[in-house]
Amino acid sequence: MTAPLLRGPFRYVGHKRRLREDRRFVIGAGRYAADLALPGTLHVVPVLSEHPAARILAIDTEAALALPGVRAVLTGAALAAAIDPLMNGAHTPAVRRYPLAVGQVRYVGEWVAAVVADSRAIAEDARERVRVDYEPTPFVLDGEAAMRSDAPLVHPEHGTNVLLDRRFVWGAVDDLFQEAAHRLAYRVAWGRSSTVPLETFAVTARWDEAQETLDVWASIQMPKFPDQIARALRLPGNAVRVHYDVDVGGSYGVKRGIKHAVLAGFLARHLAAPVRLVEDRLENMTGGDMQGPERVFDVELAFDGDARIRAMRMRALDNVGAYAGRSPFQLGKPIGAIVGPYRIEAVAYHALAVVSHKTPEEAVRGFGQAPTNYAIETGIDRVAAFLGLDRIEVRRRNFIRAEQFPYLIPSGTRYDSGDYHGLLDKVLRAAERADIFAERERLRARGLLAGIGIASCLEPSGGNSAFEPLLNEHNRTTTWMESCRVMVDALGAVTATMHTTSAGQAHETLVAVAIAEILEIPPERIRIVRPDSLAALPSNSPVGSRMAIMLGGAAVGAARQLKDKLLAIAAHDLAVPMADLRYREGTISAPDGRALAWLDLVTIAHREFFRMPPEMEPGLAASAVYQVPTGGALPVDGRVQMYPCHSFELHLVLVALDPVLGRPELRRYLIGHDCGQVISPDVVRGMTLGGIAHGIGAALLEEFSYDPATGQPTAVSFMDYLLPSACEVPEIEIVHQTTPSPLTVFGQKGSGESGYLGAAAAIASAVNDALAPLSRRIDRLPIRPAALSDLIAAAKTTTEK
Amino acid sequence: MTALCLEVNGRVWHVEVEDRTSLLDCLHDALGLCGTHAGCEHGVCGTCTILLDGAPVRACLMLAAQAEGHRITTIEGIAPRPGELSVVQDAFCETHAMQCGYCTPGMVLTAEALLATNPAPSRAEIIAAISGNLCRCTGYGQIVEAIALAAERRRGINIAAGAP
């Protein structure tokens, strides 16, 4: 699609305006999946594995079934006989995954059986009476240990614990390593954290006997969700009706819920009753299958004496847990920004995904980009330290320059636009105003350890699926569309559609603003509805920071078609060439002053066919199906255009820590942010602040830890998995810059992952700057106070000797 | 099952629940007041916050039976009249103090309780007040702004109302 790009000034785009979603939330009228109360609903609870690895010898359901109110107990063997396995991302046909374990369990919390009862409380009582005989087997938790030849196999049929092992070489890496003046190598580790939404996963499924359809209401952010349910349950696609008018109580990637929906759907059909599955927090933290990347990076950099980084070798090992859906792809998405904002000429990348006896991973905000950014940023700091140069200066020397865009990186992606030096200068001016550098010295003078952290990184946005064919040659999916339909009724009111759920990203406001901008009518006059999947246009979901670009693009496309139809009607009615007409706020006027108002046009379209241009369809409706702007080419020689647009962010953070307590405090936080043309300022601001808070969690607080001796998870509640509260998040100053994307209608880029993608790297950088006087550093997230105070104590002991 | 008589949002409700039913489940499932959300169900996240005799309380940590004889306010009972918003609710809309909306009812009720006792809270006092309510979306910035804005507007209304 080649439609004209619009550059401001805009009427509605970029202006502060109340969001249409907020009113229902503040009055408690959000409609979440758990709020649905269908008469006769049965409740499911899963029986959870107590072992990290064990054979299931027998399951005795008799005592559970004897409890009044219990309707059924389903085992994995019975379910697997009736359905097909859930979809895999990587090509690993022997790694089968069903909603309930079959024959063996592979992690603590895995669903072994499902109890269905009249209430959740009865189902929980009955769960206690299900007797599972296990024969524990050896387990492996650590990703590197899982690769060793003597490691217990998580999926023996697969023959190895390695799910993905791909090596890419983009450019003359070895030559540049030879040629460069210096080399350094380092290891960093990103801990197993996740997004942990406050709403757990919830689904209600109902088999409609009369229509022979499965109705599903679910808390989801899952591409191809109806297809996946239909395939697993061996139903035609048009027998699954997913309702998208469900508010999702947070997701940030993880609300995939396919095993939940397949289980509930199967039970609903076989018990002929609505079935509801709402996780409690314990179930969510263990068997919810929503943990995030746990990744170890081994990186080598080759660079010259002027700090210009020439080449990089990176090995990324991700411990995906016991099963893998799309999670190995999280090693693929960062290929689209593998050099960050820097002019690194050549890269060798080794991506390894291994299974272990931990809870499976799911997609997490940024889809693997945040850990990769942390690995790259650590390297930039290390180069600066090696050469005794300022960390900001090293970034300045390596940044891609504004005039170099569009910029082709070695792995095949072309960055659309950017002005990294410009934003750096703006942030430094703000830092001067905020007195950050002097404050660090004051803190140090008071005996505290204090450091400044820097991270500059990209947010690839407008998500496509280019990493799928890149990492799995059996997968040739490159279509990744979003759609919108705009209708004007006979009374002149405008209604538009979107075709996925939302989890707080204000998509209804986005669609309304985009259409309002084109039709020049206030967004408040436009209603946004979400047809169910059987009435939906082809769409994916709000993944990959894509909706401002993709849903915004679809809405603009549909609105433009509608406007063109109005112009064609007016041209015919006024007998004036279309090019001579002027459209303004819904009224179309001819050069001679005659005009047709909005309602006149609507009346012609809906009631006065005799005034319509010949061959034109009556009514006013238009729809657009919008493909990712850069298209959808297959990879060539391991290179591919990943996401089309690239937002940029630059964090500057001041951390202070008491050398005895070792608890880092964030004293100042500045972020420079450039996501092109902003559509809704309050939304972008909220995303950025929330992303930083999430990054603070990943850097300092959050980890799904396991007891190495028993394989038991040790962070299963909010008392041991710590989410940042208002006390842990400092006041944050955002410095804006707008570098429009040449690929999108308004120049917008994505912002759904902003803040998160660099916050953890920046905080780690600050902590390491604080530790620098002690000649110590820490390269593993989250940075725990205990680890820090031990490190500081050890450093002091060494010094005192 | 036990028959309970609960005063919720100024209205008396007669409801039969199992003895073990939490106040959260009673409000959400039995009374259909779905604005009270389950978050962690172990008292950490504050998502299920309601007001009990005006004070913020976690509905997941109380049995419904314990609420008899107390005045319960849920998010559905905060607006002055149907179709209107309280000053706090309106301020949350003004600053976009939410994203997914799941923690919002608990946040609004906590803010209402704060402003009822402290009409001019400092930033630190606002943060302390909401420190027991987790929000995963916003990073709290726009929530703190909303509460400060609501405080200012409530004071403004009082001055206007009290002026001769």
Residues B91 and B151 in one domain: yes
pLDDT over 80 (residue A340): yes
Give the pLDDT band (50/70/90) at residue A130: very high
Lookup: tokens for A748: 């917008």
Identify whether B46 is part of a domain. yes
CA–CA separation, A317 and A326 (whole Å):
16
Nearest CA in chain B to A732: B141
CA–CA separation, A40 and A215 (whole Å):
15
Which residue of A121, A249, A724 is in closest CB contact with B37?
A: A249
Confirm whether the ipTM is greater than 0.95.
yes
Question: What's at A330, amino acid-wise?
Answer: Q
Indicate the angle between helix axes B104-117 and B141-162, nearest 10 degrees: 40
pLDDT over 60 (residue A455): yes
pLDDT of residue A8: 86
The tokens 């046909």 sit on which residue?
A: A93
- Per the rule left: phi > 0, alpha: psi between -120 and 50, beta: everything else, A468 is alpha
CA–CA separation, B93 and B113 (whole Å):
18
Give the pLDDT band (50/70/90) at residue B159: very low
CA–CA separation, B65 and B17 (whole Å):
9
The answer to whether the beta carbons of residues A585 and A545 sit under 8 Å apart is no
Report the percentage of chain A scoring pLDDT > 70. Answer: 99
Identify whether A684 is part of a domain. no
Interface test with B, best of A18, A19, A24, A26 (most B CBs within 10 A): A26
Lookup: tokens for A187: 């290891």
Lookup: tokens for A700: 């300092």
Give the pLDDT band (50/70/90) at residue A89: confident
Lookup: tokens for A592: 């001679």
The tokens 């450039």 sit on which residue?
A: A674
- Torsion, CA A160, CA A161, CA A166, CA A167, rounded to 10: -90
Nearest to A627 by CA among A538, A559, A519: A538
pLDDT of residue A796: 80
pLDDT digits (tens, 9 = 90+) for A345-356: 999 999 999 999
- Number of Cβ atoms within 10 Å of the Cβ of B113: 20
Averaged pLDDT for residues A675-698: 98
Residues B70 and B41 in one domain: yes
Sign of CA dihedral A505, A18, A526, A584: negative
CA–CA separation, A294 and A706 (whole Å):
12
Residues B69 and B104 in one domain: no
Averaged pLDDT for residues A173-193: 98
CA–CA separation, A476 and A466 (whole Å):
9
Which residue of B75, B78, B93 is in closest CB contact with A22?
A: B93
Strand A414-415 versus strand A104-105 pairing type: unpaired
Identify whether A611 is part of a domain. yes
pLDDT over 80 (residue B141): yes
Identify whether A440 is part of a domain. no
CA–CA separation, A299 and A349 (whole Å):
9
Question: What's at A95, amino acid-wise?
Answer: V
Residues in chain A: 801
Identify whether A309 is part of a domain. no
CATH number of the domain residue B35 falls in: 3.10.20.30
pLDDT over 70 (residue B162): no
- CB of B75 within 8 Å of a chain A CB? The answer is yes
pLDDT of residue A801: 53
A200: enclosing H helix or E strand: none
Averaged pLDDT for residues A252-277: 97
pLDDT of residue A326: 86
pLDDT of residue A441: 97
- Structural domain including A505 reads 22-30+481-626
Lookup: tokens for A28: 């408690």
Residues of A in contact with B130 (CB under 8 A): 726
Residues B54 and B112 in one domain: no
Residues B134 and B96 in one domain: yes
Identify whether A510 is part of a domain. yes
Burial class (CB in 10 A: 0-12, 13-18, 19+), A75: buried
Question: What's at A553, amino acid-wise?
Answer: G
pLDDT digits (tens, 9 = 90+) for A363-376: 999 999 999 999 99
- Structural domain including B58 reads 2-77
For chain A, how long is the longest CA-to-CA vector? 98
- The domain tally of chain A equals 1
Nearest to A586 by CA among A575, A572, A570, A574: A570
Lookup: tokens for A140: 């492996």
pLDDT over 50 (residue B160): no
pLDDT of residue B163: 33
CATH number of the domain residue A498 falls in: 3.30.365.10
- CB of B30 within 8 Å of a chain A CB? The answer is no
CA–CA separation, A373 and A112 (whole Å):
37
Averaged pLDDT for residues A398-427: 98
pLDDT of residue A121: 96
Residues of B in contact with A507 (CB under 8 A): none
Instruction: Give, as one character, the DSSP assignment of residue A706.
Output: B
A134: enclosing H helix or E strand: strand A131-136
- The domain tally of chain B equals 2
Instruction: Give, as one character, the DSSP assignment of residue A257.
Output: -
Identify whether B44 is part of a domain. yes
pLDDT of residue B157: 83
Nearest CA in chain A to B94: A18
CA–CA separation, A754 and A750 (whole Å):
8
Identify whether A119 is part of a domain. no
Chain A, 674 to 703: residues with Cβ < 8 Å from chain B are 682-683, 685-687, 689-694
Instruction: Give, as one character, the DSSP assignment of residue B26.
Output: I
- Per the rule left: phi > 0, alpha: psi between -120 and 50, beta: everything else, A537 is beta
Q: Do A281 and B40 touch (CB under 8 A)?
A: yes
pLDDT of residue B158: 64
Q: Do A689 and B140 touch (CB under 8 A)?
A: yes
Identify whether B82 is part of a domain. no
DSSP H helical ranges for A233-361 = 258-271, 281-286
CA–CA separation, B44 and B60 (whole Å):
10
Averaged pLDDT for residues B117-133: 97
- CB of B105 within 8 Å of a chain A CB? The answer is yes
CA–CA separation, A173 and A176 (whole Å):
5
Indicate the angle between helix axes B141-162 and B87-95, nearest 10 degrees: 140
**Distance of alpha carbon A145 from its chain centroid, rounded?**
29
Question: What's at A555, amino acid-wise?
Answer: A
pLDDT digits (tens, 9 = 90+) for A32-67: 999 999 999 999 999 999 999 999 999 999 999 999
Lookup: tokens for A134: 């296990």
Identify whether B145 is part of a domain. yes
Give the pLDDT band (50/70/90) at residue A1: very low
Interface test with B, best of A119, A198, A204, A282 (most B CBs within 10 A): A198
Q: Which of B31, B50, B77 is the last residue of a domain?
A: B77
Nearest to A124 by CA among A132, A134, A114, A112: A114
Residues B72 and B117 in one domain: no
The answer to whether the beta carbons of residues A499 and A224 sit under 8 Å apart is no
Nearest CA in chain A to B21: A121
Q: Do B40 and A18 touch (CB under 8 A)?
A: no
- CB of A249 within 8 Å of a chain B CB? The answer is yes
Identify whether B29 is part of a domain. yes
Cβ-Cβ contacts under 8 Å for A732 (sequence gap 6 or more): A669, A670, A671, A688, A689, A692, B139, B141
CA–CA separation, A240 and A705 (whole Å):
38
The answer to whether the beta carbons of residues A319 and A146 sit under 8 Å apart is yes
pLDDT of residue B53: 97
Nearest to A461 by CA among A582, A592, A358, A366: A366
The tokens 């997913």 sit on which residue?
A: A242
- Number of Cβ atoms within 10 Å of the Cβ of A794: 12
Give the pLDDT band (50/70/90) at residue A761: very high
3-state secondary structure A351-403: EEEEECCCCCECCCCCCCHHHHHHHHHHHHHHHHHHHCCCHHHHHHHHECCHH
Residues B116 and B60 in one domain: no
CA–CA separation, A449 and A434 (whole Å):
19
Residues B68 and B96 in one domain: no
Averaged pLDDT for residues A459-486: 94
Average of per-residue pLDDT values in chain A: 96
CA–CA separation, A481 and A626 (whole Å):
5
Identify whether B150 is part of a domain. yes
CA–CA separation, A609 and A408 (whole Å):
53
Interface test with B, best of A15, A16, A17, A27 (most B CBs within 10 A): A27
Averaged pLDDT for residues A278-284: 97
Identify whether A231 is part of a domain. no
Residues B40 and B103 in one domain: no
Average of per-residue pLDDT values in chain B: 95
Identify whether A582 is part of a domain. yes
CA–CA separation, A551 and A540 (whole Å):
10
CATH number of the domain residue B140 falls in: 1.10.150.120
pLDDT digits (tens, 9 = 90+) for B43-97: 999 999 999 999 999 999 999 999 999 999 999 999 999 899 999 999 999 999 9
Residues B91 and B158 in one domain: yes
- CB of B85 within 8 Å of a chain A CB? The answer is yes
Sign of CA dihedral A572, A576, A577, A579: negative
Strand ranges, E, within A513-643: 526-529, 582-584, 587-589, 595-596, 620-626
Nearest to A461 by CA among A711, A158, A757: A757
A629: enclosing H helix or E strand: none
Transcribe A437-451 into DSSP letters. HHHHHHHHHTT-EEE
Q: Do B139 and A755 touch (CB under 8 A)?
A: yes
Q: Which of B77, B106, B135 is the last residue of a domain?
A: B77
Cβ-Cβ contacts under 8 Å for A529 (sequence gap 6 or more): A245, A495, A496, A497
Which residue of B94, B99, B144 is in closest CB contact with A504?
A: B99
